[in-house]
Structure 1
Amino acid sequence: MSRLTYRRRDLIKAFQRIIHAESFGGIFLFVCALLAMIVANSPWGEAYFELWHQKLGIAYGENGYLGFSLHLWINDVLMSFFFLMVGLEIKREFLYGGLSGFKKAAFPAIAAIGGMIVPAIIYIIFNAGTPTAHGFGIPMATDIAFALGVVLLLGKRVPASLKLFLVTLAVVDDLGAIVVIAIFYSSGVSLFWLLCSAFLVGVLVALNYAGVRSLIPYLLVGVVLWFCTHESGIHATISAVVLAFCIPTEPKMKPQAFMEKIDEEIKHFSHSEKERENVLLTEEQIHQVEGMKKAISQVQSPLSKLEHFLHSYSTYLIMPLFAFANAGVSIQGGSIDFSSSHIIYGVALGLIVGKPVGIFALTFLCEKLGIASRPEGLSWSYIFGAGMLAGIGFTMSMFVSNLAFIEASYVDIAKISILCSSLLAGILGSITLLFLGKKTNVLKSQA
């Protein structure tokens, strides 16, 4: 084999390692956001903005049309799959993960609440009495892909418990963002469609209670639920979270029964193989292979199976596409009116200052009052550093800004504020955690 072939194989393996790295999602998001800003301010800028207004759907009759603009397909339909994954993650964490018990959940949950309340207050202080006051939800959000990506890039320089703390905090933060969207960013609720949605939620609960473990019925009902929720005036992505909470966690086959089944099939398969020399499988062996495939499918939790399936699409398609479609803002020729500077102050100070202060202050107060205690191995300095990284709002903040403002100039100012503030929060958080990591290593070496 030639040296060129070896080199090509090594490059492919290196590329695969980069793609499958946990930090890749955050890096890819950043690249797509940067690319969107470049294209929006290039000679192709006009085509870039026109693209997202193109209609995509089916025309019927004389004036009938079923569909949305490309921008709405991404923000309402594709993002529903992202919210479905978020909902599955929240449910898993509450049942089996870092939020499964009060002692484990209390500290990061309190941190998340502090990280939502203080940024919202800061935003309201600067925007109270203005047409932009409704955007208080923008600095409340944390982008887990970016924040976790930074922690993973820092590697062993930060304690492992920091990753768990940040992930758990972000899960509660996502839940808070979902509640805020449902309550404050819904428009003109229709009682009829709301009742239809409630009925469909009842159907999902009944399916779960009846022990239905196939995902197909849930997903079919989920599609209709999305439509009814969209028509009700509540943002349709909320239906995806409700669907996630109704997906079963119990598999059809218990692990012990699965192992017994696989052992039995392997024994029969091996016995059949000894009696012949043909390379082709016998009918009996094919039957045994099918039995093993069925058992493998049945031992997987429907929740875990769906979450695993959605994770790749979310990381490599949905989130990057959302970033590319929403991060592009034209800043050429003074096209943006920066007179609404109160949005900038509210978003920037909310994310950069409000997040770390809110997370640190509320957790510090609760520990002193005996309500919750810090995870082992996490100093207050690391808590503050994690709070800085939580100031990376990006995806969820941009999502909320699209809901909060109708006027395009407000949305553009909010997006620029989010991008700059998230970048600064990431840099400050990284520097803080790097400094703390070096300081900890020095103290260890002296000891």
Structure 2
Amino acid sequence: MNRKRPAGEANTQLPAAFFDRWRQPFARFLRIEAAGGGALLLATLLALVLSNSPWAPWFLDLWETRVGLGFGSLEFSRSLRDWINDALMTLFFFMVALELKRELVLGELRSPRMAALSIAGALGGMLVPAVFYLALQFGQPGQSGWGIVMATDTAFVIGCLALLGPRIPQSLRIFMLSLAIVDDIGAILVVAIGYSHGFDGIMLALGGLGLVLVRAMALGGMRHLLGYFLIGSGIWLAVDASGIHPTITGVALGLLTPARRWVGDERLYGILSRVIAHPAGDHGSGDTKDRHTLQLAEVAVRESLSPVERLGMALHPWVGFVIMPLFALANAGVSLSLTALGDSVTLAVVVGFVCGKPAGILLFSWLAVRTGLALRPPELGWRLLTGGALLAGIGFTMALFIANLALSGSVLDSAKLGVFLALLVAALAGSTLLMGTSVGQRRPDAG
């Protein structure tokens, strides 16, 4: 005689498996903010070592390998480096735009005055460094590289802040994350406007129609990601053919992604209660009522998170641990030479990041607070803001991205060297200043 056992604690958990013991530690590792920056740093060091080793010719030529499709006389191909910079980096900017959308709709930037502080700092951190750079490079071969010094590298900056731990308040992390996201968006707009070549209005219009279609699909309740992926790929191809840099597609699609969840808590619990109400037993695997209820519950649980949150969680490991390290391997290779340290382009990049970046962030933030446009949290003193502004001089990812578009040859190598030097100086200066400010000793600054 079979007797049903009451549901004990073991029956309220998922079945155990061998790899479960590794799943939670690995998931915690993915959540560590410094991990993405660590992977990026390792890839950068590897690129530098290989590009200055006997394998340098093979390593540098690898990224120039042509990859694509051919149909008779038609060919759609580009170098491996261009596929990474144009296609994979679109996903990076898509994730950046998702994070910005989440902060604006669900996060700390819902308050206009709180958002104004980060936006003002980001604007100053883009404009002033570009002015510093142009002042040193006007009329010289590196003049077109003015956009190199405009953006902050999110992964490295957040990684530095994570390593500082409780020494800094959460408000500084939010300010720096928001600032980095805003000036990443600004930098890709600069790429789209300032570093695109040629223009095809018809293809751009087709891309715009694709965005309208995506918006209509979202308003109509379309939930399947495959449809959005296919339409998004078509938009990318149209924008690429228009002459505008296709990574702008990632920004547009990210900002169009819904930030509100489809299933609220009350509806979710109601659907789950229907699952609990089904009696236990063996009903086979056919088309039964309880099976439909379980399928409904699966959709409800998935849709209890907004698309912005769900896509952000899904993409973050791929962007942080695959796309960004690949980008570093493909773009960070440069032959190091002591003679290049005195090059005017190297100097302009370092000055733009190390001096212009913090000066612009602090000046525009101060003006925004003094005019009443922005609100500065009391615990976020000007000394902390200065340390954060110095860290913002780490511009690795977008700096290399724009450098490859704007410059070439020895001038490009000098710019890359400037980016590396600025990274070291900015990270050391900002971390040292913030490390000297403990939570217990911090007092709100006046102003």
Runs of 5+ consecutive residues of structure 2 not aligned to the other structure:
1-19
What secondary structure, in the 3-state scheme, does the structure 2 residue paired with 1:23 have? helix
Q: How does 1:39-438 map to 2 (within 5 A)?
A: 39-61=50-72, 63-268=73-278, 272-273=279-280, 276=281, 285-331=290-336, 341-405=343-407, 407-437=408-438
What secondary structure, in the 3-state scheme, does the structure 2 residue paired with 1:147 have? helix
For residue 133 of structure 1, report the CA deviation from its aligned partner. Answer: 1.3
For residue 240 of structure 1, report the CA deviation from its aligned partner. Answer: 1.5
Counterpart CA distance in 2 for 1:134 and 1:367 is 33
Counterpart CA distance in 1 for 2:22 and 2:297 is 36
Counterpart CA distance in 2 for 1:186 and 1:75 is 14
What secondary structure, in the 3-state scheme, does the structure 1 residue paired with 2:230 have? helix
CA separation of 1:250 and 1:120: change in aligned 2, threshold 3 A: same
For residue 337 of structure 1, report the CA deviation from its aligned partner. Answer: 6.2
Supply the AA of the counterpart residue of 2:433. Answer: T
Counterpart CA distance in 2 for 1:143 and 1:390 is 7
1:6 is matched with none
TM-score, normalised via structure 2 length: 0.88
Supply the AA of the counterpart residue of 2:302. Answer: S
- 1:36 to 2:47 alignment: yes
Runs of 5+ consecutive residues of structure 1 not aligned to the other structure:
1-8
What secondary structure, in the 3-state scheme, does the structure 2 residue paired with 1:299 have? coil
For residue 86 of structure 1, report the CA deviation from its aligned partner. Answer: 1.1
Supply the AA of the counterpart residue of 2:210. Answer: L
Supply the AA of the counterpart residue of 2:200. Answer: S
Moved more, 258-267 or 311-320: 258-267
Counterpart CA distance in 1 for 2:265 and 2:389 is 39
Identity %: 37
CA separation of 1:10 and 1:214: change in aligned 2, threshold 3 A: closer
Moved more, 180-189 or 391-400: 180-189
Counterpart CA distance in 2 for 1:193 and 1:267 is 55
TM-score, normalised via structure 1 length: 0.88
For residue 59 of structure 1, report the CA deviation from its aligned partner. Answer: 2.9
For residue 103 of structure 1, report the CA deviation from its aligned partner. Answer: 1.4
What secondary structure, in the 3-state scheme, does the structure 1 residue paired with 2:333 have? coil
Aligned length: 424
What secondary structure, in the 3-state scheme, does the structure 2 residue paired with 1:441 have? coil
CA RMSD of aligned residues (A): 2.5
What secondary structure, in the 3-state scheme, does the structure 2 residue paired with 1:257 have? helix
Residue deviations 1:211-236, cap 9 Å, x none? 33333322211101101101111000
CA separation of 1:376 and 1:229: change in aligned 2, threshold 3 A: same
What secondary structure, in the 3-state scheme, does the structure 1 residue paired with 2:109 have? coil
Moved more, 407-416 or 368-377: 368-377
For residue 12 of structure 1, report the CA deviation from its aligned partner. Answer: 9.4
CA separation of 1:225 and 1:10: change in aligned 2, threshold 3 A: closer
2:6 is matched with none
For residue 55 of structure 1, report the CA deviation from its aligned partner. Answer: 1.5
For residue 371 of structure 1, report the CA deviation from its aligned partner. Answer: 2.7
Residue deviations 1:321-369, cap 9 Å, x none? 101111111236x8x8677x22112210111111111111222233223
Supply the AA of the counterpart residue of 1:40. Answer: S
Counterpart CA distance in 2 for 1:352 and 1:323 is 21
Q: Is the 8 A contact 2:114 2:376 kept in 1?
A: no
Counterpart CA distance in 2 for 1:279 and 1:213 is 30
Counterpart CA distance in 1 for 2:32 and 2:211 is 37
Supply the AA of the counterpart residue of 1:232. Answer: S
For residue 17 of structure 1, report the CA deviation from its aligned partner. Answer: 4.6
Q: Is the 8 A contact 2:109 2:115 kept in 1?
A: yes
What secondary structure, in the 3-state scheme, does the structure 2 residue paired with 1:99 have? helix
Residue deviations 1:48-72, cap 9 Å, x none? 01111111222332x4332221111
Counterpart CA distance in 2 for 1:199 and 1:15 is 41
1:26 is matched with 37
- List 4+ stretches of structure 1 deviating above 6 A: 9-16, 278-282, 336-339
Supply the AA of the counterpart residue of 2:394. Answer: I
Q: Is the 8 A contact 1:265 1:291 kept in 2?
A: no
Moved more, 151-160 or 187-196: 187-196
Counterpart CA distance in 2 for 1:298 and 1:176 is 31
